[in-house]
Amino acid sequence: MVIKKKGIRDHLVQPNFPDIEEAVEKVISRGGKTTADDVPDQKNGETRFTLRLPHNLLKSVDVARKSRIGTVSRNQFIVEMLNKALK
């Protein structure tokens, strides 16, 4: 006589795939923010965003920034250089 153990799989509840698919579709439909959705900070009129720079350009920014007298943040230095370039 062979004794057969009940498998673990026999006790598992099968997922309800339509519910999972619906949840995934909600996440996809929601999407993310774009720069057009960015709203300026009402307190100081600033907008935050991510800026991607090549590594060698960032190194050049840091070299120029550190050559200044005093301490200035990378952000402040980039803002000053952008203002200077646009005038």
pLDDT in tens, 3-59: 666 665 655 565 556 677 777 777 777 776 665 565 666 677 888 888 999 999 999
Q: Rounded distance, CA 58 to CA 53, Å?
A: 6
What's the CA angle centered on 37, arms 27 and 41, to 5 degrees? 125
* pTM of structure: 0.51
Q: Check if the beta carbon of residue 61 is closer than 8 Å to that of residue 74.
A: yes
**Within its chain, how far is the Cα of 43 from the centroid?**
23
Query: How far is 48 from 40, CA to CA, in rounded Å?
Result: 8
